[in-house]
Chain A
Amino acid sequence: EDKVVQSPLSLVVHEGDTVTLNCSYEVTNFRSLLWYKQEKKAPTFLFMLTSSGIEKKSGRLSSILDKKELFSILNITATQTGDSAIYLCAVEDNAGNMLTFGGGTRLMVKP
């Protein structure tokens, strides 16, 4: 059974801080790892990672995958209050039919 564990469960920082969110996984036949941001309603896509060591970047957000150690990190630099959300990590196996999600990290950025 595929398993995804995210840490920390929740995090409170101040604007301008840098945060690192962690995602570790166990999956039989790994295909990809995805990060989503969930504010009030539906999760929105951030990154899809398939190869180790290749950083994906979008503005102040970046993510990297380590397929040997079975984890990924999501970094957010110069945080803003708009970054407050639940960040979800998910893994896809080679069957490609479904994603297994972690429990999420709830980030709160205070002014």
Chain B
Amino acid sequence: NAGVTQTPKFRVLKTGQSMTLLCAQDMNHEYMYWYRQDPGMGLRLIHYSVGEGTTAKGEVPDGYNVSRLKKQNFLLGLESAAPSQTSVYFCASSYYLQEDEKLFFGSGTQLSVL
């Protein structure tokens, strides 16, 4: 059971470079999310999607773009990376949040922007 898979696991970028983080889930979940985690700040929602072809902004969307062209994939793009985007990025998915449902998380991507 793959669950939620994130690639890459680690990446180092120079300021101004671009990259795309890929999240794939094989659970046929409708909802997918991108979070970033910084020390002492918990998880902050960047963007999310409630279904194929739809995306919405979360708490900290600036500097990021997303796409959900296929139900199983949710891509997070950084067009021009900045040192402030150094963080650990988590993708998550859910069917939808209801009693005893929960988010399923990927294993995270450690991104450093120099």
Q: Is B96 positioned at the interface, with any CB of A under 8 Å from its CB?
A: yes
Q: How many residues of B contact A (CB 8 A)?
A: 28
Cα A43 to Cα B90 in complex, Å, equals: 9
Bin chain A's interface residue count: 20 to 34
Q: Is B43 positioned at the interface, with any CB of A under 8 Å from its CB?
A: yes
- Minimum distance in angstroms from B61 CB to a CB of chain A: 12
State whether A100 touches B45 (Cβ < 8 A).
yes
Q: Is A4 positioned at the interface, with any CB of B under 8 Å from its CB?
A: yes
Chain A residues touching B, majority SS: strand
State whether A96 touches B96 (Cβ < 8 A).
yes
Cα A104 to Cα B42 in complex, Å, equals: 5
- Minimum distance in angstroms from B80 CB to a CB of chain A: 26
State whether B48 touches A97 (Cβ < 8 A).
yes
- Minimum distance in angstroms from B75 CB to a CB of chain A: 18
Cα A9 to Cα B59 in complex, Å, equals: 22
Q: Specify which chain B residues have a CB less than 8 angstroms from the CB of A4 in the assembled complex.
A: 42
Q: Specify which chain B residues have a CB less than 8 angstroms from the CB of A44 in the assembled complex.
A: 105
Q: List 20 A-B contacts (CB under 8 A).
A: A6-B42, A9-B40, A32-B99, A34-B102, A34-B103, A42-B4, A42-B108, A43-B43, A43-B90, A48-B100, A88-B43, A92-B97, A99-B45, A99-B97, A101-B35, A101-B42, A103-B40, A103-B42, A104-B40, A104-B42
- A residues with a Cβ closer than 8 A to B are 4, 6, 9, 31-32, 34, 41-45, 48, 50, 88, 90, 92, 96-104
